[in-house]
Amino acid sequence: MPAHEIIVVDNMSTDLTPAILAELASDFPDAPLKVIRQDREQGITPTRNMGFDAVTADVIGRIDSDSVLEPNWVQATAALFRDTSIDAATGPVTYYDMPLRRYMALADDSARKAISRLVKQYHFLFGTNMALRRTAWEAVRESICLDADAHMFEDIDLSVHLYDDGFSIVYSPDMVVGMSARRLDDSPKDFLAYITRFDTTYNHHGLRKKRLRIPQWAYLGVYPIAKSLRWSLKIREARKA
């Protein structure tokens, strides 16, 4: 199933992004590709907001620049949102630059299902792979934290505002997206600083429940194993080269 529209927001890129997008538009003239520029400020939150605001479809799908959609992603997401009780959804990821990809995909799906059960009400959206109704976005648009980039996870900030306004968020194992594991290349100190954004996000909203920190603990728990796998893959690639 094709997407109704594909919106790419270029946030002050200095690489070949404009040229690549122009080539794509030329190669696929019938594709519903729309490129917009966000030059006011650097950051995920204002860039995401501009993209969401430009959507004309009833459901907004959001991925990151390193995301790779499974061929049935649009179809699976559209089918999910036929349930009118669902306002937003997130799904699992596969790490395309990690070894044991099939195992890692199953582990990710199992972990996210478990986390969704444990955290109960405050299900969080994963920015790499998420969708929400345009009406839900318009309802929370003016209340989200515009400075979320600095100290928080902007996708979790959005999740909290959606939940607090009475919107439902679900986990769907059928919405599968590939992503890079490049975050594992960070030093342990930098990775820890990144993961503690769970704390700063929830603390900012006055949410002190320990179960909301379960994703943070889970990521920290698997970090040593995942980093070892990542390095083993790099060593093998270096030997082949």
**Segment 90-132, tens digit of pLDDT:** 999 998 888 777 777 777 777 777 767 666 666 788 999 999 9
For the chain, which residues make up each domain, given as ranges? 6-240
Instruction: Give CA–CA dist 90/37, Å, rounded.
Output: 26
For tokens 């799908």, what's the residue? 61
Instruction: Give CA–CA dist 3/34, Å, rounded.
Output: 12
CB 129 within 8 A of CB 91: yes
| SS3 state of residue 176 | coil
Count CA atoms within 13 Å of residue 166 on its CB side: 2
Which tokens sit at 225? 């194993």
Backbone angles phi, psi at 196, to 5 degrees: -70, -5
Give the model confidence (pLDDT) of 42-97 as tens digits.
999 999 999 999 999 999 999 998 999 999 999 999 999 999 999 999 999 998 88
Architecture of domain 6-240: Alpha-Beta Complex (3.90)
Instruction: Give CA–CA dist 9/51, Å, rounded.
Output: 6
Distance of CA 172 to the CA centre of its chain: 14
Give the model confidence (pLDDT) of 24-42 as tens digits.
999 999 999 999 999 999 9
